Each structure stands twice: as structure tokens, then as C-alpha cells.
Amino acid sequence: MSMQGDFYQLLKEQGYQLGAPVAASAGVEIPTATTILAFKYRDGVLVAGDRRATAGNMVMYDRTDKVLEIDRHSVMAIAGVPATAYEMVRILEHSFKYYRRTQLQELSFEGKLRAVSKLLKENVAAALSGTGAVAPIFAGYDVEHEAAKIYFYDILGAEFEGVEYAVSGSGSPTIRGILHYLNTWGEQPLNAMPEEQAVIHALRLLTSAAEFDSATGGVNREANLYPVIKLITTGGVGAVPEATLKSLFEAKVVRHV
Amino acid sequence: MYEEPYKWVEAVANRRQYLDDQFKQGSPVVALAYDAGILLLSVSKGTPKLYEIYDRLALGGMGHPADLEKLRVSLLEMAHVEGFNRSPSDVTGSRMVKYGIAPVIKQAFEEVFKAPFIVKLLLAELGHKAGKDSFLVVNYDGTFEEGTSCAVLAASKTVEQEMVASIREQMSGARSLEQAFDLALRTWALGDRLQHKTVEEPSRGSSSGQPEDTEAVPLSAYLLDRVAEKTVECALLERNLSGSSKYRALASNEISRLLPKDLTPPIV
């Protein structure tokens, strides 16, 4: 008997294949690069991402949403090739729903993590050929164990737990150091920060990443363009409204010199 | 044995009679639109009868649990593969029933050498706006009917018609969750009572005046008697629920809050 409630298996039985190993031909620029981050704060997990998609030197799009809600308690932030990343998110979204609806219970948090790893492993050939590398962050609230959790992955599917925080994408080296500094010597550790403080820090971190990484989009006030910031708490996933981001950015992030 | 056409017709007629008998002890299912979405209700002895199928689709079933399970899983597979390959908006109750499940049920019903599905299905679909909901009922022979404000499953067509007539009579304008729950529960009791009446009547013969006595018992007292040791099951498709899935099964504490006061103690 096949594994019960496995949507991906069902898709494969119907002839579906996730990542075909196609070598990228020379001169073809594939959209990549990003900054995504997640850290635990007082009430749960904050997950944030910039909104730029680039291909080589070209900005493809400035309104990308890289922080995607998979279900009521989990979010996947994506870095890498968007085509593959969005497809993975779609598979995961359907898989978790399919499991819940067929098995009449939620998939456990560990089960969700396995599902992410499995997709990345299936995609290794495409990742190595250069056309489908994805290095996501998976964050959520484990309802069963009443704990917020963060995991990050390499393009081969290895899973690492981000005990306090995780970063991914081309702009991530810049902010990794800042997060370490903040968490160790800041006024309070990240996991003690109230919501507003956490959002301010996320905006500052992404602005710093954009300062040093051309492939990370910063805030564009004229276009009313702010990063995507989502909060996961016991109550579920919620996005920080643009109006809040705008007022916090103007009051606490813009340099007043 | 069935090589002659009339024998096949006879076999199908026998099968109809056999299936009608199978549903006599079943528990009715009621689904109706209310101001925030759709409410589904049934009373069961443990095995659930209400299920989530897709973002805006809920299923209610009557009949053999194993058959119900089989059809539920094919509906789930169909809906999810379609929703993934096309889009969630293309997963509609009407497509699932007309091109998916109804032909399968009809084929099983008419293949007289094989066992039919002992099952009746109700598919409720939440519209994007109030008044755009749809309800589909599939009978054991694969025939289906569509409605827009309510639908029921019961042992026979007559009972179903009486239940729907009673809902329509009492359904007016916007209806709160409390009112919808109350109406659904009373409609369930009405259906259950009518089913039992038709089962008991033939055994009594024509001499007794008993059926009138049964009717004299108030519906609430009948409910109290029938619902004891059983579970009231209720699920909602809520238009304003955040996220894409709109299905939510009511928890037992919510159900006990909605139950009429005199029914509360024996159930919870």
C-alpha cells in the first residue's frame, strides 16, 4: 500500500515531474538573488523578504512576494530560482491540505519539514544543473509542542534548525552578522522583543542588505514599496499591513541626520 | 441469467429495493445556507458523516462507511489534482459531481454482477458571494440534483421532500449561525422521525392509530430521545474565514453552546 495521504506521490503517479535536469545554456540569465530572514520574537516567528527579482544585472520585478503562507501555521520564504520555488510552494500547500483532508488530522510539524526536504532532494539534479536551485527558510508554529520553529535548507535538501534566526539569499551575509550582534549584545535578545520592535529590526536589516547587495530591493517610498513581513503566532499567520510598515519605516528606519 | 433485457431491468429494480432498505436506518444529513456561509449537520454514532473536500467544498454522506470512504478519497484526489494542475477556482462541485463521481456511481449501480455503492452524497459549495452557494445531492443510482439554498439526505425521496419543504417554510432572509443550527437540528429530527415512521408502519398493519401518537410527541422530546448516546456533528463553510480553506468543523464545546438547553446534558 502506498503512503496514505501523500499528494506528491499522487502527482507522480499521474506523470508529474518537479525538476528536470536541464543545463543552463550560456548567456541565459536566470532570475535569482534575494534577502530573506526569519527570527523568533516574543510572540512567535517573524519572517521577512525583500521584493526584488533579478536576472544578472537586470531587475526583473520589484513586487515579488517571497514570503509565502503555506497553511495557517507555516510560511516558506524563498531564495533561488523563482519558477522552481513557487512550484514547490504550490506542491507543499496542496500536500498539507490533502493530508489534513484525507487523514482527518493535521500533518505534524516534523512531517511538514520532511516534505520540504523531500522536494529539495527530488530537485537536486535541476539545482546542480543551474536551472532550479532553491534555498528556502521554513518557519512555523508547532501547535502540538506549542513552540515557534525556524529551519533553513541548502540547495541539496539538507535541513538545519535556526535556533534563534535564519537567513538566506545573496544579501544574507550582510545581515547574518548584524543578527548575531543584536541577539548577543543588543538591549534584549531577539526572542524577548515585542512585535513592533521586531518589525522595526526586520525593516532595518533588509535596508542594510539592500545597501550592500544590488540584487536585494530596498524600500521605495515613492512607489510605496515595502518588504513583505509576516508574523506567525499561536493564532496563525498574519501579514504586517503596508500602512504599519510605512509609519514604522518613516519613524524608526529613515536616517534623520 | 441476465442475458435477456427484461431480466436486467428486473435485476436493477431488485437492486433499487435492496438499496432503499439499506438506507432506512441511516441518519439524515442537512445542509443550508446562512448569513456567513453554509452549515452542515448530522447526528451520528461515532463514524463521522461530514468531511472537508476542498477549499470551498464540503461533503455529507449517508450509507455504508466503507463505500463513503472510497468515494470521499476519489473526490479528494480529483479535487486536489485538478486544483494543482489548473487552479482552485476550477474545482467546482458541479464538475466534481457531473464528470467525476456521478458516472462512477451510476456504473456501479447498473453492473448487476458487482456490488453497488451503498451511498448517498451531498456536496455543498460555498459561493464567493452570499446567494451564490450551490448544493448537489447524488443518489445511489448516480442521478443528481442541484439546489441553491439547502439540500438534505434521507432514506427516501418522500422524506427528503418533506424536509426541504419544512426548511423552505422556515427559512426567511438572513439567518444567524444559532438560527441555522436550530433549523438544521429540527429538520434532522423531522427527517429521522419520518424515516422511522415509514419503517414501523408496515409492521403495525393498518389497524392501529399509532402514527398520530408519534406525531403528538413534541419534536424536542423526540430529539432528546434520539440524540442521547449519539453525537451531533456540525461543520461550516465560512465565507470570512482567513486563508484559502473555508471549512471548519465545530468543536464539541461550540456544539453544546448551540444546542437547545434541554438537550445539552445527555450529549456532552
Cα–Cα distance for residue pair B263/B217, rounded to 1 Å = 16
Closest residue in A to B244 (Cα–Cα): A71
**Structural domain count of chain A:** 1
Q: What is the DSSP letter of A80?
A: B
- In chain A, the N- to C-terminal Cα span, in Å, equals 67
- Contact residues on chain B for A89, CB-CB shorter than 8 A: none
Query: What are A16-75's pLDDT values in tens digits?
Result: 988 776 666 555 566 667 999 999 999 999 999 999 988 888 888 889 999 999 999 999
Structure confidence at residue B164 (pLDDT) = 96
- Hey, where are the domains in chain B? 5-267
For residue A3, is it within any domain?
Answer: no
* Residues spanned by the domain of A148: 32-252
Query: What are B104-140's pLDDT values in tens digits?
Result: 999 999 998 899 999 999 999 999 998 899 999 999 9
B243 and A101 within 8 Å at the Cβ level: the answer is no
What lies within 8 Å, CB to CB, of A78 at 6+ separation is A34, A36, A49, A66, A68, A85, A86, A88, A89, A134, A136
Give yes or no: A64 in active site: no
The residue written with cell numbers 544578472 in the block is A56
- Contact residues on chain A for B81, CB-CB shorter than 8 A: 10-11, 14
A7 and B73 within 8 Å at the Cβ level: the answer is no
What lies within 8 Å, CB to CB, of A33 at 6+ separation is A52, A53, A54, A79, A169, A170, A171, A213, A215, A216
Interface test with B, best of A74, A97, A106 (most B CBs within 10 A): A97
**What DSSP assignment string belongs to B45-77?**
SSS--EEEEETTEEEEEEE-HHHHHHHHHHHHH
Interface test with A, best of B50, B55, B71, B81 (most A CBs within 10 A): B81
> CATH number of the domain that A172 lies in?
3.60.20.10
B243 and A97 within 8 Å at the Cβ level: the answer is no
Nearest-CA distance B40 → chain A (Å): 17
pLDDT tens digits for chain A (257 residues)?
Answer: 457 889 999 999 988 988 776 666 555 566 667 999 999 999 999 999 999 988 888 888 889 999 999 999 999 999 999 889 999 999 999 999 999 999 999 999 999 999 999 999 999 988 888 788 999 999 999 998 999 999 999 998 999 999 999 999 999 999 999 999 999 999 999 999 999 999 999 999 999 999 999 899 989 888 899 999 999 999 999 999 999 999 999 999 997 65
**What DSSP assignment string belongs to B198-226?**
HHHHHHH-SS--HHHHHHHS-HHHHHHHH
CA geometry: angle B16, B18, B19, nearest 5 deg:
65
- In chain B, the N- to C-terminal Cα span, in Å, equals 53
A14 and B81 within 8 Å at the Cβ level: the answer is yes
Query: What amino acid occupies position B202?
Result: P
Query: What amino acid occupies position A68?
Result: L
The cell numbers describing B147, all together, are 439546489
Within chain A, where are the H helices? Answer: 7-13, 82-103, 109-122, 124-129, 172-185, 195-212, 242-248
Structure confidence at residue B207 (pLDDT) = 43
Cα–Cα distance for residue pair B236/B58, rounded to 1 Å = 8
Q: Is A94 on the interface with B (CB under 8 A)?
A: yes
B243 and A72 within 8 Å at the Cβ level: the answer is yes
- Contact residues on chain A for B73, CB-CB shorter than 8 A: 102
β-pair type (B134-138, B144-147): antiparallel
Helices and strands: H and E segment counts in chain B: 10, 10
Q: Is A59 strand, coil or helix?
A: strand
A129 C-beta neighbours (distance < 10 Å), count: 15
Mean pLDDT of chain A: 91
A90 and B243 within 8 Å at the Cβ level: the answer is no
Architecture, CATH, for domain B5-267: 4-Layer Sandwich (3.60)
Which residues 4-63 of A are in CB contact (within 8 Å) with B? Answer: 7, 10-11, 14
Cα–Cα distance for residue pair B154/B192, rounded to 1 Å = 8
Q: Pick the catalytic residue from A34, A64, A84, A216.
A: A34
CA geometry: angle B150, B252, B176, nearest 5 deg:
40
- Contact residues on chain A for B52, CB-CB shorter than 8 A: 100-101
Q: What is the DSSP letter of B4?
A: S
Q: Are A62 and A217 in contact (CB under 8 A)?
A: yes
For residue A11, is it within any domain?
Answer: no
Entry field: residues in chain A: 257
Closest residue in B to A103 (Cα–Cα): B73
Nearest-CA distance A111 → chain B (Å): 19
Nearest-CA distance A91 → chain B (Å): 8
- Contact residues on chain A for B76, CB-CB shorter than 8 A: 98, 101-102
For residue A12, is it within any domain?
Answer: no
Cα–Cα distance for residue pair A179/A163, rounded to 1 Å = 12
The cell numbers describing B261, all together, are 438547553
Nearest-by-Cβ selection for B76 from A11, A98, A236: A98
Nearest-CA distance B98 → chain A (Å): 22
- Residues of chain B where predicted confidence (pLDDT) is lower than 50: 203-213, 265-268
Closest residue in A to B243 (Cα–Cα): A72
Give, in order, the Cα–Cα distances in Å from A240 to each of A66, A202, A254: 14, 11, 18
Q: What is the ipTM of this complex?
A: 0.88
Nearest-by-Cβ selection for A90 from B48, B76, B84: B84
The cell numbers describing B14, all together, are 431488485
Q: What is the DSSP letter of A234?
A: T
What lies within 8 Å, CB to CB, of A140 at 6+ separation is A45, A70, A73, A74, A75, A109, A112, A148, A149, A232
A236 and B51 within 8 Å at the Cβ level: the answer is no
Beta bridge partners of A80: A134
Nearest-by-Cβ selection for A10 from B48, B53, B77: B77
